[in-house]
Chain A
Amino acid sequence: TQLLEQSPQFLSIQEGENLTVYCNSSSVFSSLQWYRQEPGEGPVLLVTVVTGGEVKKLKRLTFQFGDARKDSSLHITAAQPGDTGLYLCAETNTGNQFYFGTGTSLTVIP
């Protein structure tokens, strides 16, 4: 089983602040996806990163894939209450099984 560690596990910040969430593995990722999940709903895909060193931006969200493809980060600029949710990284292994990271629960306080 692939083990993807996310940090921090919980994060509570004021609206307008910036934050970064990390996803780390002891193994090399083939590709990595970031999801956001709201309570009572399924995860929704935010981005897929494939190439080491890759940086992708989605409005106020910036995703970075480590050069060695063993880590990734999600940076949110000027967080808004609508950003509140559970952020999950996920990776597919060679057996085509799909594993999620330990998750980061973000609360943005108005």
Chain B
Amino acid sequence: GAVVSQHPSWVICKSGTSVKIECRSLDFQATTMFWYRQFPKQSLMLMATSNEGSKATYEQGVEKDKFLINHASLTLSTLTVTSAHPEDSSFYICSARGPQVYYGYTFGSGTRLTVV
């Protein structure tokens, strides 16, 4: 149990376009989801905490207008990178925490975004 599916696994887009990344909890309801960004051989940096039915909480230095997060249901959170630029190229990972402590935190398999 406690599987998180992230889609797409990789995407290439042109500068100035927007890209949406989906994070779904497949067999549990996730009241809270987290979005991370990761550069090669570096750790995961928390970007924002997504709470179902309310606005996301962004970490300091993360542009909320650039990285739009929507958590409209208990099984889906989306991250939209708006007006993407090459410096937005990175590995984006979501994680979800179900309401049961047993599940802990489960991570998606990540999305490799390349902006050209």
A-side interface residues toward B, CB under 8 Å? 1, 6, 10, 33, 40-45, 48, 86, 88, 90, 96-103, 105
Check if A98 sits within 8 Å of B42, measured CB to CB. Answer: no
Where chain B touches its partner, the secondary structure class is: strand
Contact of A44 among B36, B45, B107 (CB under 8 A): B107
Residues of A near B108 (CB, < 8 A) are: 42
Decide if B109 is an interface residue (CB 8 Å cutoff).
Answer: yes
Where chain A touches its partner, the secondary structure class is: strand
Chain B interface residue count, Cβ-Cβ cutoff 8 angstroms:
27
Check if B110 sits within 8 Å of A88, measured CB to CB. Answer: no
Decide if B78 is an interface residue (CB 8 Å cutoff).
Answer: no
A-B contact list, 19 entries, CB within 8 Å = A1-B60, A10-B41, A33-B104, A40-B91, A40-B110, A41-B109, A42-B4, A42-B93, A43-B93, A43-B107, A44-B107, A98-B97, A98-B105, A100-B43, A100-B45, A101-B43, A103-B42, A103-B43, A105-B41
